[in-house]
Amino acid sequence: MAGKTAIIASNGTLFDAYKVYNIATAAAASDHEVAIFFTFEGLNLINKEAYGQLPLPEGKEQIAEGFAKGNVPAIPELVEMAQELNVKFIGCQMTMDLFGLEKEAFVDGIDVGGAVTFLEFAKDADVTLTF
């Protein structure tokens, strides 16, 4: 492994999803070991019912056209690619409980854990990012 990247995803718009998954897949494609901790609205980015239709940030609806024209991969496609590249997904247990969501609500292959699970991974990471 060329490095280690730890990402916290805590927001749930389409913009947030691209920020998280573009960096995650680029890092994994550069042979980094990558883990993403999904917490609060960030859980939307792996929620099976939500991740295919994430909202644009308020007031930015006109950007939808740019996405359509830009040949940008859809979020479910990026998720699949990230998982193929062995990016580790960790769902935050505490916020899942708060929102009344079970593991089954999310894409397959996620781990569920608490803050310490993420910190254990992140403590010796070369790159740490929060979105």
Partner 1 sequence: MNADKVLDAKGLACPMPIVKTRKEMKELESGQILEILATDKGAKADMTAWAKSGGHELLDTQEEDGVLKFWIKKG
Chain residues in the site for partner 1 (CB under 8 A): 2, 22, 25-26, 29-31, 70-73, 81, 85
CB of 44 to partner 1, least distance (A): 21
CB of 18 to partner 1, least distance (A): 10
30 versus 53: smaller Cβ distance to partner 1: 30
Which pairing describes strands 127-130 and 88-92: parallel, antiparallel, or unpaired? unpaired
56 versus 101: smaller Cβ distance to partner 1: 56
25 versus 39: smaller Cβ distance to partner 1: 25
**d(C-alpha 74, C-alpha 54), whole Å:** 10
CB of 30 to partner 1, least distance (A): 5
Outline where the chain has alpha helix (H): 14-29, 64-69, 75-84, 93-98, 115-122
**d(C-alpha 17, C-alpha 38), whole Å:** 11
**d(C-alpha 75, C-alpha 96), whole Å:** 21
CB of 64 to partner 1, least distance (A): 15
77 versus 120: smaller Cβ distance to partner 1: 77
Outline where 30-104 has alpha helix (H): 64-69, 75-84, 93-98
